[in-house]
A and B are shown apart, each in its own frame.
Chain A
C-alpha cells in the first residue's frame, strides 16, 4: 500500500494549512468588506466594489481620534514599560535580595490574572479614590501589564547569560556603567525587544482593561465595541486593514532579518550548548 510518488502528501500539513485558513478567515472578511459599497448602516451584505471608504478614511473624526489614542497609548506604554521592566527583570535574574520572591509572585499574578479582574480592580481603586478615568488611567494600566511582560522576557534572557563575561569586563577594569553599556545591555537586547513587541501588541489589541479604565475616552477597540450596537461603518474595516498590513510587513521584515542572523554560528552557540547539557 505504498505510493512513492504521493509520499510527500501529508495529512498533517493539510490540516495545519486548514487551521491557518480558519484563523485568517475573519481577517479576509474584514478586508473584503472594507471595499463594500454599502449605503445603510449595516455592513453585512455585499453591495458592490468601492474605494470610497479609503478616500473617506478620516470622515469620522471621533474614530480617527480613537485610532490615534490606541497608537499613542501603545507607543508610550511600551516605552515606559521598557524603562521600568528592564531593570526589574535584570535584578530578578542577577541578584538575591529581600522581596525577590514577592516580586516574582506579583509578576506571575499579573500575567495569569484575567484582564477582567485587573480592569475591575483598577476601576475599584479609581472609584474609591475618586480618580477621573481617561487617557492617563488607560496609559497607567497598560504600562503596568506591559512592565510585567518586559520584566519576564528580560529575566528569561538574563538568566541564560554567562556571568563570566561580566567578570571578565570587571577584571579588565570596566566600572559599573561601561560594563552594563558594553556587555550586559547588548546581551539582553533580544529579551528587551521581545518584551517591547509583546507590550505594544497587547496594548493596541486591549479592549477589556481599557473598557474599565477609559471613562469617556475611546480607543480603537472601544470605538468598535460601541459601534456594534448601531452598525460598524466600513472605515473600521479600512483602519483594521491598514494596521494589519503595516504590522504584517514589519513582522515579515523582522522575520527575514531574524532568519539571516540565525545562520551566523555565534547565535547558534547557546542551542548547541543546551543540547550538550542535556
Chain B
C-alpha cells in the first residue's frame, strides 16, 4: 500500500504531463534550436549556432517590436480605463442581475474573433454605414479614413481583449468584503477616500491579472493589424507569420518568436516583482 501511495501522483501526472512535454516543452526547445540554424527550405536547415539570426532579426524589425509593445500597452491602458467602471458597477450595484451582465460581456466570445474583426472592418470601411453618410453630408472630409490607421488597430485590440480585463477585475471586486467599506466610513473616510484607500488597493491583484491577460496577447496579435491596419501598422506577429509562411525563413522567424516570448515573460516577471502580488500563479482565469 505505501508503495502504490507514493506512486499515485506520478501515475496521475504522467499522461497530461507527457502531452504538455511533447507539444509544449519540446516545441519551444525545437524553436530555440531552429533559431540558431542556417539553410533554406530546399536544402534544409543545419545547426550552426548562427547568433546573427537574432541580431539580424532585431536590427531589421526592431521598430516593429517597439510598435507592437506600444500598441499592446495603449490597448491595455484603454482596457483598464474602460473595464474598471463597468466591473465596479457589476460587482457592487448590479444586484441579482450580476450573472446576466457577465454573460452579456462574454457573449462576444461565442462568435469567432476573426469574424468580429471582419464585422468591424465592414462598419468602419470608407463607404460603409458610418463613414459613407458622414462623408456624403460633408461632416468629415472625403479623405478621412478610419481603417489603415493606428487608431483602428489599437481600438480593435482594445475591443478584442476588453473582456479579459473586465473579468479578473470583477472577480477581485466581488471578493471584497463590503464590511471593509463600511469600516472605512465608520472611520470617517468619505467616498473618495474609501475608494482610494480600500477598494482600489484590494482590486489591484485583479487589475494585475487583467494586464497580463490583455498585454501579452495584444502585443502578439496580428489579426487586427492585418484586417484593420495598413502597411504602416505592421506588428511583430504579422512579420513572424509572413516569415514562416511567405518567405520560409524559419530560423529568423524562430529567433523573432523566441525574442517575443522572452520579452513578454521577462515583462510579466519584473512586473510581478514590482507589484509584489502573492504568486502570479494565483491569477484568476476567466
Contact = CB atoms under 8 A, between A and B. Distances in A.
Contacts of B118: 224, 228, 232
B168 interface: no
Interface stretch (B7-15, B59-67, B135-143, B192-200): B7-15
Interface in A70-122: 83-85, 87-88, 90-92, 94-97, 99-100, 103-104, 106-118, 120-122
Interface string A196-210: 001001001101100
A1 interface: no
Nearest to A108: B281
A172 interface: no
A258 interface: yes
Interface in A166-216: 198, 201, 204-205, 207-208, 211-212
Interface in A7-53: 10, 12-13, 15-16, 19-20, 22-27, 29-30, 33, 43-46
B31 A120 contact: yes
B125 A12 contact: no
Report, as a range, how many residues of chain A touch the other chain.
35 or more
A114 B216 contact: yes
Contact of A117 (B8, B93, B257): B257
B6 to A, nearest CB: 8
Contacts of B105: 20, 23
Contacts of B183: none
A22 B159 CA distance: 8
Report, as a range, how many residues of chain B touch the other chain.
35 or more
B12 A127 contact: no
Given A26-B123, A114-B216, A244-B110, A91 B285 contact: no
B33 to A, nearest CB: 7
A261 interface: no
A115 B217 contact: yes
A20 B114 CA distance: 19
Interface in B51-93: 82, 85-86, 88-90, 93
B127 interface: yes
B115 A114 contact: no
Main secondary structure of the interface of A (DSSP, over half): helix
Contact of B223 (A19, A95, A99, A207): A207
A83 B116 CA distance: 32
B244 interface: yes
A109 B216 CA distance: 12
A118 B94 CA distance: 38
A152 interface: yes
Q: Which of A16, A85, A151, A225 has the most CB of B within 10 A?
A: A16
Q: Which of A46, A83, A85, A88 has the most CB of B within 10 A?
A: A88
A110 B22 CA distance: 13
B286 interface: yes
A59 interface: no
A125 interface: yes
B254 A124 contact: yes
Given A26-B119, A117-B260, A201-B110, 19 more contacts: A10-B89, A15-B89, A26-B123, A45-B127, A88-B15, A90-B12, A113-B265, A116-B240, A117-B261, A127-B250, A128-B30, A128-B33, A201-B109, A221-B114, A224-B114, A251-B106, A255-B103, A258-B99, A278-B177
Interface of A: 10, 12-13, 15-16, 19-20, 22-27, 29-30, 33, 43-46, 83-85, 87-88, 90-92, 94-97, 99-100, 103-104, 106-118, 120-125, 127-128, 140-141, 143-144, 147-149, 151-153, 198, 201, 204-205, 207-208, 211-212, 220-221, 224-225, 228, 232, 236-237, 240, 243-244, 247-248, 251-252, 255, 258-259, 275, 278
